[in-house]
Amino acid sequence: MIKKVTETFLLHYPFLKSFQPNVYLTRIKKEDRLAIESVHREYCDNYSDQIFSISNRASIAIYNLICFCKPPVILDLGSGFTTWLSYYATRNSEGTTIISVDSSYDWIAKNEEFLHKHNIDSAIINYQTFKENSPNLPYGSFIINDIGDPGNFTLRESSLSLLTEYVRNGAILFLDDIHKPSVKAAALKFIRENNFRFQDLCSVTFDHLGRYSWLIFAEQNES
């Protein structure tokens, strides 16, 4: 049976016990909210489109999760605005490695141009290359899974199997587009088969296009 986490996934992460989910995921300094909204607008107007990019509400939740969790590695599956967001959220902290991956060479080139404009000289890795040489991710890493053509979620769904060991070893997975029945079915299968937990973030990420996200993670031992 699938065990939904009714309170907060943070209860399973002893080092984060004190935070309340709705408060910590939606509260943000005005200057950070304005910066995120402004770059998101620029990104959607000039490089992508709202329907292809993560929503503003999901961006704020991701920003807060990164700031609180301070992950050693952020794996950004599906490059674009989330790549900039990962750099923005870690700008004042040291020691976070950001790995951005995408399946389309054209898209990688376009996003590298966008990132370069924001003084981020990061190479985006092709999905196939990443799949063939998947690195180990340390405990507490953060994975944003927003990969693939939004008209066809098969890559998003199949990419979950690549993430099993990461989540088992303590990575936290932010999975977007749960409103799509096929994505939700794949997420539930992934959770059930691995006895993972999930936190429904619908109340904090639901946007005007009906999209929302889940957090998926393995139960952690408190020691």
Which residues of the chain form contacts with ligand SAM (CB under 6 A)? 48-49, 52-54, 78, 80-82, 102-104, 107, 146, 148-150
Q: How far is the CB of 119 from ligand SAM (least distance, A)?
A: 18
Q: How far is the CB of 114 from ligand SAM (least distance, A)?
A: 9
Is the Cβ of residue 71 or residue 78 nearer to ligand SAM in the bound state? 78
Q: Which helix (H) or strand (E) holds 4?
A: strand 3-4
Q: How far apart are CA 174 and CA 215, in angstroms?
A: 5
CA 18 to chain centre: 22
Is the Cβ of residue 143 or residue 218 nearer to ligand SAM in the bound state? 143
Is the Cβ of residue 3 or residue 118 nearer to ligand SAM in the bound state? 118
Instruction: Give the tokens for residue 78.
Output: 């599906």
HSE at residue 36, side-chain half, CA atoms within 13 A, is 25
Helix axes 81-89, 56-69, angle to 10 degrees: 30
Residue whose C-beta lies closest to ligand SAM: 80
Q: How far apart are CA 109 and CA 84, in angstroms?
A: 15
Closest alpha carbon to 70 in 19, 112, 116? 19
Is the Cβ of residue 8 or residue 64 nearer to ligand SAM in the bound state? 64
Is the Cβ of residue 138 or residue 150 nearer to ligand SAM in the bound state? 150
Is the Cβ of residue 87 or residue 107 nearer to ligand SAM in the bound state? 107
Q: How far is the CB of 38 from ligand SAM (least distance, A)?
A: 15
Closest alpha carbon to 79 in 103, 48, 100, 50? 100
Interacting residues of 104 by C-beta distance below 8 A, sequence separation 6+: 149
Q: How far is the CB of 44 from ligand SAM (least distance, A)?
A: 8
Q: How far is the CB of 149 from ligand SAM (least distance, A)?
A: 5
Q: How far is the CB of 29 from ligand SAM (least distance, A)?
A: 21
Q: How far apart are CA 29 and CA 42, in angstroms?
A: 20
